[in-house]
Chain A
Amino acid sequence: MIRLSAITRVFRMGDQEVRALNGVTLDIASGEYVSIMGPSGSGKSTLLNVIGLLDRPDSGHYELDGSDVTGLSETERARVRREKIGFVFQSFHLVPRLTAAQNIELPLILEGVAPAERSAQVDAALDAFDLRDRAHHRPSELSGGQRQRVAIARATILRPTALLADEPTGNLDHRIGAEVMALLEALHHAGTTLIVVTHDRELGARAHRHIAMRDGEIVGDET
């Protein structure tokens, strides 16, 4: 469960201050399917980064699964990210040198899982995301849809409580994008909290809860 209260995040652009988040207060219950929408610069990506503990708010409080994560050290935040958060990016962010299987394996390596157990879990993920015959291909040899499936497999391999997707279909054509969304929604049905940032209205509408942002503030929150 995610509980943000009065979160402010200020960026300095030269001598100007930009309030990317201006006192955002937001509760998201476990297992919700939320879309965050808004124009460019409205702060929706920054909100996602704060939720994912990639970014640190300048003020306000953040409670994740009942514990205050506002003041955690960098190392502790890394651990929380590893265990509770899964990221899916618009540009996939696969490591180009590693095969699909190796990319999926990365979080397990970081977590220190034993090799035998790792390969079993990776095999299961490859099957679950229909990547079995692509396991030993590098990202450059995969289609966009396959790349995003690898990214999603990687994001979910450690069974995070929340899956954060930033424009997950932004680099995909319509049909493939729909497939990827179906995949993410299937994960939501399995109990994962799903938060999708997009400015695609059609995509945003699929979520059960719609949050609208403008100028660093939440201007709409409807179910």
Chain B
Amino acid sequence: MNLRDTLVLSLSTVASYRTRSLLIVLAMALGVAAVVVLTALGDGARRYVVGQFSSLGTNLVIVLPGRAETAGGFPGASLGETPRDLTLEDARLVGQLPQVRRYAPLNVGVAELTSAGRLREVTVLGSTADLLPIRHMKLSQGSFLARGSEKSAQIVLGSVLAREFFPDGRAVGQRVRLGDSRFLVSGVLAPQGESMGFNSDEIVIIPIDYAQELFNTESLFRLLVEARSRTAIEPAKAAITHLLKLRHDGEEDVTVITQDAVLDTFDRILTALTLGVAGIAAISLAVAGILVMNVMLVAVAQRTSEIGLLKAIGAPASDIRRLFFAEALWLSLAGGALGFALGHAGAFVIRLAYPVLPAYPPAWASVAGVATALLTGVVASLLPAARAARLDPVLALSGK
């Protein structure tokens, strides 16, 4: 019996036991669909988080004053030891390092914004012109803080604030009061929405000198540094640490974190999570495999006399084995294909329901889901197929 006839004959058998076949295919399909949908969710969550981080800036190195120390020393050992300020001069020198493309010092505080009788408390970012490219911000109107004009009283408004204070949409060129000083609106940020729990639509940005004066501080809140390339991130980190250690009397009193490290951690955690849910979903495939085995065993028992007949008219054991094998193959193939379609449809529905979540099933999960379905189906058919092939023709013909 050749391969083509084996496949055709087993397909007609599968098709003739309609209910039985449909149920197995459905069980298989649900297993595959579960793998596809759950990995789509997991991978979607991963992409969402990675995307959120990337929106903060690329090749970003962040310098924080103070040292995150979690090891050694007994409580009180560091008492009286105040970390040195991270100053604008520090920032300027960091900016001259060869590994650094640009930098933006950052101060953050809260102040009252008033204009034309309106008043509200806003989050104030003090920085320089390079904050715009480093943080991937965009303007909808006007211009950002002018380069090299840290001393001029400019202010950039978040989109929501611009709308609230200037409903007519003409914010640029207007004067506003922030704290006790007057500022000229130079630009309005494009709406960006919330990113990492920080709504950039409701902030104002002013030059760093004004911010330090406003909040009465010499120390920076953060220093954002963009390395020249992805490979320059680690050298930049080392160079910044070295430079600031020299400037701070040999004391390593700043913390330098790279976004990549944070991102990698999240990436790893969420990839592990995705694999985990894929594994759980795969269990349902194993259950479907057991179902296939059970149904095939019942089929062998039901068709005993038919198997006897096939043997009587000259089918060798290998043909019988292949017939049952091919039946399982068809069932799991149909189940895998249907599950693939169901899973992708499910992921599509999730994307429709939650547009922020890029719930695309990863290719590996689709392939692995369908392959696992085929494998479990075929493995599950080994025992029933062998049992059918071993039947004694005389006993089988009499239905025993």
Q: Which residues of A contact B (CB under 8 A)?
A: 49, 52, 54-55, 74-75, 78-83, 85, 87, 89, 93, 95, 97-98, 106-107, 109-112, 154-155
Q: Which residues of B contact A85 (CB under 8 A)?
A: 314
Contact assessment for A106 and B316 in the assembled complex, using a CB-CB cutoff below 8 Å = no
Q: A49-B394, A54-B394, A97-B16 are in contact. Are A81 and B312 (CB under 8 A)?
A: yes
Please tell me if the beta carbons of B311 and A110 are within 8 angstroms of each other in the complex: no
Could you tell me the distance between the alpha carbons of A93 and B5 in the complex, rounded to whole angstroms? 21
Cα–Cα, bound, A106→B11 (Å): 15
Shortest beta-carbon distance from A110 to chain B in Å: 5
Q: Within the complex, which residue of A75, A80, A112 is in contact with B318, where a contact is CB–CB below 8 Å?
A: A75
Tell me the B residues contacting A by CB distance below 8 Å.
1-2, 5, 9, 12-13, 16, 305-306, 308-319, 393-394, 397
Q: Which 10 A-B pairs have the closest CB atoms?
A: A82-B314, A78-B316, A97-B16, A81-B314, A93-B309, A75-B316, A54-B393, A109-B5, A87-B312, A107-B313
Query: Which residues of chain A have C-beta atoms less than 8 A from B393's C-beta?
Result: 54-55
Is the pair A54, B397 in contact by a Cβ cutoff of 8 Å?
A: yes
15 additional A-B pairs beyond A54-B394, A81-B313, A93-B312, beta carbons within 8 Å, are: A49-B394, A78-B316, A81-B312, A81-B314, A82-B313, A97-B13, A107-B313, A109-B5, A110-B310, A110-B313, A110-B314, A110-B315, A112-B2, A154-B313, A155-B313
- Say how far A9's CB is from chain B's closest CB, in angstroms: 10
Q: Shortest Cβ distance from B332 into chain A, in angstroms?
A: 21
Asked, given contacts A93-B397, A97-B16, A109-B5, whether A78 binds B314 with beta carbons under 8 Å apart, the answer is yes
Between A and B, 25 residue pairs with Cβ closer than 8 Å are A54-B312, A54-B394, A54-B397, A55-B393, A74-B317, A75-B316, A75-B318, A78-B311, A79-B314, A79-B316, A81-B314, A82-B313, A82-B314, A82-B315, A87-B312, A87-B313, A89-B397, A93-B312, A95-B309, A106-B313, A107-B314, A109-B1, A110-B319, A111-B314, A112-B5
Do the beta carbons of B2 and A93 come within 8 Å of each other? no
Contact flag A75-B313 (CB < 8 Å), given A54-B393, A89-B397:
no
Nearest chain A CB to B10's CB is how many angstroms away? Answer: 11
B13 to chain A: which residues have CB within 8 Å? 97
| CA of A81 to CA of B312, assembled, Å | 7
Q: Which residues of A contact B2 (CB under 8 A)?
A: 112
Q: How far is the CA of A180 from the CA of B150 in the complex (A)?
A: 111
Inter-chain contact B309/A78, CB cutoff 8 Å: no
CA distance A87 to B262 in the complex (A): 76
Contacts of A107 in B (CB 8 A): 313-314
Q: What residues of B have a CB within 8 angstroms of the CB of A93 in the complex?
A: 305-306, 308-309, 312, 397
B9 touches A109 (CB 8 A): yes
Q: How far is the CA of A80 from the CA of B311 in the complex (A)?
A: 11
Whether B318 pairs with A110 at a CB distance below 8 angstroms is no
Chain A residues with CB below 8 A from B5, complex form: 109, 112
Shortest Cβ distance from B11 into chain A, in angstroms? 12
Shortest Cβ distance from residue B291 to the other chain A in the assembled complex, whole angstroms:
22
Q: Which residue of A lies closest to B396 (CB)?
A: A54
Complex formed: what's the CA distance from A55 to B311 in Å?
11
> Residue A52 contacts which of B310, B312, B319 (CB distance < 8 angstroms)?
B312
Which residues of B lie under 8 Å from residue A89 when comparing CB positions? 397
User: A90 to nearest B CB, angstroms?
Assistant: 10
Q: CB-nearest residue of chain B relative to A80?
A: B314
Q: Give bound CA distance, A83 to B317, whole Å.
A: 16
Cα distance, A128 to B16, chains bound together (Å): 29
Write out the residue numbers on chain B whose beta carbons fall within 8 Å of the beta carbon of A80. Answer: 314
Residues in chain A near residue B16, CB distance under 8 A: 97
Chain A residues lying within 8 Å of B305, measured Cβ to Cβ, are 93
| Complex contacts, B319 vs chain A, CB 8 Å | 110
Cα of A97 to Cα of B299 in the assembled complex, Å? 13
A95 B1 Cβ-Cβ under 8 A: no
Residues of chain B within 8 A (CB-CB) of A82 are 313-315
Query: In the complex, A85 Cα to B393 Cα: how many Å?
Result: 14
A97 cross-chain contacts in B, Cβ below 8 A: 12-13, 16
Q: Which residues of A contact B12 (CB under 8 A)?
A: 97-98
Contact B317 A106 (CB under 8 A): no
Give chain A nearest CB distance to B202 CB in angstroms: 71
